[in-house]
Chain A
Amino acid sequence: MREEKKIRVLVAKPGLDGHDRGAKVVARALRDAGMEVVYTGLHQTAEQVVEAAIQEDVDIIGLSILSGAHLTIFPRVCQLLRENGAEDIMVIGGGTIPDEDIDELIGKGYARALFTPGTTTAEIVGWIRKAAEN
């Protein structure tokens, strides 16, 4: 069998909101799908998220935001990744994000993909696997 490097994912809860049901369900699904998952826990600043991502040498950061602060947090995380020379880490996310904000975040390159309520964990796993191949 071919040795494959496991995909490493940081699941992060930035900002002050404590709604971690989605983040934990996704983290567990990614782990069950064979990925290495690091979960930051709650109430993280953008700085803490980026520091953890670099320290843990992850391929992907998944930001879970249900507080309506997505338009400030995604750009901030991307900016910090750039400043730390870590823009190769892919940023994706999920939460209650209205359609037009999704267009803005994806359009401006602050997120590669956003998964909103109703998404299956299988879709997220599939997307990450495909993205990791390329």
Chain B
Amino acid sequence: MSVKENNGQPGQGRKAWETCVAGLPERPQKFMTVSSVPVKALYTQEDIAGLDYRRDLGYPGFYPYTRGVQANMYRGRLWTMRQFAGFATARESNERYKYLLSQGQTGLSVAFDMPTIMGYDSDHPRAFGEVGRVGVAIDSLEDMETLFGGIPLDKITTSMTINAPAAVLWCLYIATAEKQGVPSHKLGGTIQNDILKEYIAQKSWIFPPEPSLRLITDIFAFAGKHVPKWNTVSISGYHIREAGSTAVQELAFTLADGFAYVEAGIKAGLDVDSFAPRLSFFFNAHIDFFEEIAKYRAARRIWARRMKEKYGAKDERSLLLRFHTQTAGCSLTAQQPENNIVRTAYEALAAVLGGTQSLHTNSMDEVLALPTEKSVRIALRTQQIIAEETGVANTIDPLAGSYFVEALTDQMEAETEKYFERIEQLGGVLAAIDQGFFQQEIADAAYRYQLEIEQKDRIIVGVNDYTMEEPKQIELLKIDPQIEEEQKRRVQAVRAKRDNIVCGNRLGALRKAAGTGDNLIPFILDCVRAYVTEGEIIQVLREVFGEYKEKPIF
């Protein structure tokens, strides 16, 4: 066989290659991303002919920030390794946090149980069977003091995954810090506080959208004055993706939510640069390696461009899309769960190559139960191996200039702009939620994905191919059912020993303020300081604001 040489014009070379490849057989499968986007056999200079380095990429830390939000990225400091944890009671979770910190974790991330997430105390009938199951149960300041006992809140940053009742948990954190002698301006961390994606995907809502947005803008205003280092919203694509969306849908819907918060802040009379620097993001790292990297790069560019051009942000920090990443829970399999360690490692690598600011790596057993200490350690070690051994953190945005990655980045930006147009035509994010637009788009994508698996257009190792008989499930973490009884007794004891007259007065003041336009944060803070419970505060707000109801569609 003679040597094939591409000498002559580039076009001629391409033609020769096309002729050559056309005669070669391909594997019978569909070549597409995990989002069902077709992928070509080859990407070349022609795919990024329109790319202008200065306009579209720029230098790290410089507009439009495609290559990263810091000038030195991981050469200065590695990403924060932040494992999401929380289960059972505050005491057990406190022990897990101390363990994780002792193992080299650099920030805390709190998982709450469902009653806390939905604003019910542990002894409420709706909490039955759910206390401490998927996260830690927090009812009052006493629980929060236990949760962070022996952990100095001026030395670490904490992320709290809490949405509908975010204002209450945030006030509990501030009040806990006060008790430790740490003033609020020294506190750093994040509350998820992203209610829009709850209506769209995760479905842990309490109030209707309007009062929910008011609570969020109250937090913006209070944080701007008193808790300036706090990330007030973590605008989340993670749950949108887990609910079944494609990568582009995750990107487009998340950014649309972000711009909706910006508009809400502006509408509430705030200067965009007074709150936008504290907005942060939270994305999924799914299994499709290049698609995910392109998604993060496109996200930074779109956010910067719109914030500057459409919303007139002047402070550079308002343009920076800083984000946390979690590997994709929905990509893990209950079959041969040890394989999940490998999946998670690739996903984490994509997040790092995409320039994440912090990262949670899932544990192999999370598809079955809350993770054991051993599996959490392996997940954390996965990040440490990426950071210390693989060499990928030595240089910034190493995939820039790749024909494929740049073409995908452009494609994602263009597709996202199309979704923005559709959302605008529907009347904006709130109107689109009301019409079930996002919910239907996600449900369609989830169903298509399932059918692809069942028709074997998509192979999942251990699920629809490479299967085997498995003897026994790996060891799982168990939550003692007694935890619920203990926690119920604890909250009842708090109610018995506090000053109930003061509590009643403060709840009355909150109720009154909720009916006016006053900022509610100082009122909530006063309540939690007096050991009013989360459930009692939310109940008052429920009575004033009402409850959200969804039209179920499938």
Nearest CB in chain B to that of A23: its residue: B554
Q: In the complex the two chains form, is A68's CB within 8 Å of B204's CB?
A: no
B264 at the interface (CB under 8 A from A): no
| Residues from chain B with Cβ under 8 Å of A20 in the complex | 203, 243
B interface list, Cβ under 8 A from A? 114-115, 117-118, 120, 126-130, 133-134, 198, 202-204, 242-244, 330, 333-335, 367-370, 443, 446-447, 450, 453-454, 463-464, 472-473, 476, 479, 481, 550-552, 554
Q: Say whether chain B's binding surface is mostly helix, strand, loop, or mixed.
A: loop
- B246: shortest Cβ distance to chain A, in Å? 14
Complex Cα gap A14–B6 (Å): 64
A interface list, Cβ under 8 A from B? 11, 15-21, 23-25, 27-29, 31, 37, 39-43, 45, 67-69, 71-73, 76, 96, 98-100, 116-118, 120-122
| Residues from chain B with Cβ under 8 Å of A42 in the complex | 203, 550, 552
| Residues from chain B with Cβ under 8 Å of A11 in the complex | 554
Complex Cα gap A73–B446 (Å): 26
25 interchain pairs (CB within 8 A)? Answer: A11-B554, A15-B130, A16-B115, A16-B117, A21-B446, A24-B443, A24-B554, A28-B443, A28-B554, A29-B447, A39-B552, A42-B203, A42-B552, A68-B133, A68-B369, A68-B370, A69-B114, A73-B129, A76-B129, A96-B334, A96-B367, A98-B473, A117-B334, A118-B334, A121-B450
| Residues from chain B with Cβ under 8 Å of A96 in the complex | 334, 367-369
Which of A73, A118, A120, A121 neighbours the largest number of chain B CB atoms within 10 Å of its CB? A118
| Residues from chain A with Cβ under 8 Å of B554 in the complex | 11, 23-24, 27-28, 31, 37, 39
Nearest CB in chain B to that of A37: its residue: B554
Complex Cα gap A37–B118 (Å): 28
Complex Cα gap A42–B127 (Å): 15
| Residues from chain A with Cβ under 8 Å of B479 in the complex | 68
Complex Cα gap A21–B241 (Å): 10
| Residues from chain B with Cβ under 8 Å of A37 in the complex | 554
Complex Cα gap A118–B460 (Å): 9
Q: In the complex the two chains form, is A41's CB within 8 Å of B552's CB?
A: yes
- A127: shortest Cβ distance to chain B, in Å? 15
A17-B134, A121-B450 given. 6 additional CB < 8 A pairs? A21-B244, A37-B554, A43-B118, A68-B133, A116-B334, A118-B334
